[in-house]
Amino acid sequence: MIKNILLEIGTEEIPSRFLPDILDTLEETARNDLTAARIPFKSLSAFATPRRIALAVRDTEDRQQDLVSTFKGPAWSAAFDANGNPTRAAQGFAKSKGVSIDRLVPAEVDGVRYACAEVSEPGGKSLDILADLLPALIRKLVFPKNMFWDDPTVRFARPIRWILAMADSEVIPFEYGGIKSGNTTTGHRFMGARKIVINDAAGFMDKLYDNYVILDQDKRRQKMLAGIASLEKDLDGSVELDPEIINENLYLVEYPVPFFGSFNRKYLDIPEEVLTTSMKKNQKYFSVRGRNGKLVPFFVGVSNNLASNMDVVREGNERVLRARLEDAAFFWAEDLKNPLAANVDKLKNIVYQEKLGTLYEKVASTRELALWLCTEMDKKDLIPVVDRAAFLAKADLVTSMVYEFPELQGVMGREYALRNGEPDRVAKAIYDQYLPKAAGSELPGDIPGALLGLSERAFIIVNCHKAGLEPTGSQDAYGLRRAARCINEIIWGLGLDVDMSRLFAQSAGTVSEQDEVLGKVLAFFSQRLLVQVKEKGYGHELAALAISVTGHRPLQVLRFLEVFSKIQGSTWFTNLVTAAVRVRNILARSGGESSVEVDPSLFSKDGEKDLFGEITRIVPLVDDSLAKQDWNALAGNLAELSPHVTRFFDDVLVMDPDDRVRANRIALLGMCSSLFLKVGDVGVLKGA
């Protein structure tokens, strides 16, 4: 038994953004490679700091598992005669596989008994296998950006400086990129030893810790957060623990040392988002809020060096942040010299996309679409707000602040609009148009911004399809899938009953779904809608039925699913679905729906009279439920119909010998089928 297998790849500093994904890749690849190599193990873990990537495998067998292969030979009847004696076919097969005749065993394949041979290949020493497996494993680590050596098969994110590879106390010998594996590593760049000899893999983590390297990212995170928590007591405030900045700092340091610094209060006059963005983007700092929830002039950073005088570290970071905030204050003052509306004409000089025109043209189209949507949704009272917000929607994109911090688009539009005296709802709509920024994130807080966001995303989806820029495979350069997702999240989150087919048609300039572009857009949107409702836990068949019934109204799709998912397992609905399938099959076998009108005078059974009467009564009710999108009422209509359909099949023989009676009953089933199809093809739910 090998207690610990250890691989450490020592490098120059790897960008922090590369490391989380490469850890997942390393664990998955190592697990697959060890399994494929028939080397059993108890557990494995991957670790990373900016200067090293490591893999630890625990409790591994010192030899591979034997490989047992089964080979199929001749049929058993051809391998042995009636007396059980081996034939020449059996002897030849056994000899070719290197086994004796008595090792042949019968095995049935597709109903035929064959003579089979089990051949066992002894496993090799795990150390020998690992000497080939580990360099191959390193070669499989592909980063977003790679550096290449003289050998084109050798690549890594940054130059490799050392490789440690051990099985307990023994080195696993191999070479990669001109570096030979060994049993030495390096401590922290500033606080640890330059060379550390590892005598046994079991003590590796402790030796690194003694040299100021916390290899385990989970323990490194704990130390970092504990240090930040202790600083909060001194600051008498709350540190904003942005998950993105936590992860970035986590992979920027090997030994986290949180510290705090301060900045001049005058910078608090700048919008909060500017301050926090400047801290996060440039310096990876955490902002601090006081007990009143407002920003205070402090920040928390994470150093990779436990300096003898942390005041020097603090002062250096304060000096750097002061320069950044001074730039931000300058941009803020300069941008305020001109009203936001003065920037709109500048959008004529910015090409949105070569095939789609300028940003100014996009704004004009989105504005027109948003005003149409106000009327469409009977929200004409919002037209003044939406019109002004749409006009100013992208004016902040040409400001100095957004040029420096693109992620502040919308935020700065809101702030500049407020400083220019624009109404609060206009300013809020300029910000809200970008929400949600990611799946499951903040939604627009008011209707005008939501209408702007829906209109812009509809414009993008339609016009990218017009220009042939639709997504292909995993490629979605213009974010159309994200745009469709955001449309649905906005509609669901704010309860907006938008018919997206009409919005898309308005954007496309057509009212016909036969239009090629509109057809593609609706098919694309339906597919994205299907994906999202399935993510909410609804089955594929019911989700597809909901979309077919409700059209392209995402809010109604969700409401339909909420109602019908509750009744899907009920006895009456199951019976109705079974009946729908039976109706469809009978009509298919009889050549489709009959052109014959139903003649009630030909009814002889109570079941057919009863069904005809119920269908006649219920059709207008179903039509009314569908028109009002009243899914509870529709479910009630179907519940009333179900026992009548069941009774029909219990009482009536459809394929009556009398041609007229048979045709009349098929016509009745045609009526039933037409009613079912108003609710979609409910038969697809059979077995769902």
pLDDT digit string (tens) for 155-170?
999 999 999 999 999 9
Q: Which residues contact 456 (CB under 8 A, 6 or more apart)?
A: 362, 366, 393, 433
For the segment 448-468, what is each residue's pLDDT rounded down to a tens digit?
A: 999 999 999 999 999 999 988
pLDDT at 243: 92
For the segment 188-198, what is each residue's pLDDT rounded down to a tens digit?
A: 999 999 999 99
State the Cα–Cα distance between residues 285 and 299, nearest whole angstrom: 6
The first and second tokens of residue 162, run together, are 């050392």
| Superfamily grouping for domain 568-685 | Isoleucyl-tRNA Synthetase; Domain 1 (1.10.730.10)
Q: Residue 73 to residues 65, 68, 95, 150: CA-CA distances in angstroms?
A: 25, 16, 11, 49
For the segment 256-314, what is each residue's pLDDT rounded down to a tens digit?
A: 999 999 999 999 999 999 999 999 988 899 999 998 999 999 999 999 998 888 899 99
Reduced to 3 DSSP states, what percent helix, strand and coil does the chain have, rounded to the nearest 5?
Answer: 55, 15, 30
Whether domain 2-62+125-210 has CATH 3.30.70.260: the reply is yes
pLDDT at 108 over 90: no
pLDDT at 486 over 80: yes
Query: Residue 318 — pLDDT band, cuts 50, 70, 90?
Result: very high
Task: Identify whether 135 is preceded by a cis peptide bond (ω within 30 of 0).
Answer: no
pLDDT at 688 over 70: no
pLDDT at 590 over 80: no
Give me the chain's average pLDDT, please: 91
pLDDT at 565: 87
pLDDT at 656: 82
Closest CA to 453 of 412, 473, 482: 482
Average pLDDT value for residue range 568-590: 80
Query: Residue 436 — pLDDT band, cuts 50, 70, 90?
Result: very high
Percent of the chain beyond pLDDT 90?
60
pLDDT at 606 over 90: no
State the Cα–Cα distance between residues 686 and 688, nearest whole angstrom: 5
For the segment 493-538, what is each residue's pLDDT rounded down to a tens digit?
A: 999 999 999 999 999 886 555 588 899 999 999 999 999 999 999 9
The first and second tokens of residue 297, run together, are 């002039």
State the Cα–Cα distance between residues 395 and 347, nearest whole angstrom: 7
Average pLDDT value for residue range 590-611: 80
Percent of the chain beyond pLDDT 70?
98
Q: Which residues on neighbouring strands pair with residue 10, listed in sequence order?
A: 52, 162
Helices (H), 155-259: 204-210, 217-235, 243-250
pLDDT at 512: 59
Q: Decide: helix, strand or coil at residue 659.
A: helix
Burial degree of 110 (CB within 10 A; 0-12, 13-18, 19+)? exposed
Site of tokens 């929607």: 393
Helices (H), 552-630: 554-567, 571-589, 606-628
pLDDT at 664 over 90: no
Q: Which residues on neighbouring strands pair with residue 287, listed in sequence order?
A: 299
pLDDT at 470: 87
pLDDT at 593: 60
Where does the chain hold its CATH 1.10.730.10 domain(s)? 568-685
pTM score: 0.78
User: Is-contact 467 356, C-beta < 8 A?
Assistant: yes
Specify the long-range contacts of residues 583-587, CB closer than 8 Å, at least 24 apart: 583/645, 583/669, 583/672, 583/673, 583/676, 584/673, 584/681, 584/683, 586/654, 586/666, 586/669, 587/666, 587/669, 587/670, 587/673
pLDDT at 52 over 90: yes
Query: Residue 628 — pLDDT band, cuts 50, 70, 90?
Result: confident
Segment holding 112, helix H or strand E = strand 112-121
Q: Is the Cα dihedral 84, 87, 90, 91 positive or negative?
A: positive
For the segment 391-403, what is each residue's pLDDT rounded down to a tens digit?
A: 999 999 999 999 9
pLDDT at 647 over 90: no
- Terminal-to-terminal C-alpha distance of the chain: 49
Closest CA to 341 of 241, 419, 251: 419
Query: Residue 598 — pLDDT band, cuts 50, 70, 90?
Result: confident
pLDDT at 595 over 80: no
The first and second tokens of residue 232, run together, are 């909060």
Where does the chain hold its CATH 3.30.70.260 domain(s)? 2-62+125-210
Cβ atoms < 10 Å from Cβ of 220: 22
Helices (H) and strands (E) in the chain, counts: 24, 20
Query: Residue 592 — pLDDT band, cuts 50, 70, 90?
Result: low
Position with higher pLDDT, 118 vs 344 = 344
pLDDT at 686: 58
Q: Please name the amino acid found at residue 113.
A: R
User: Is-contact 2 126, C-beta < 8 A?
Assistant: yes
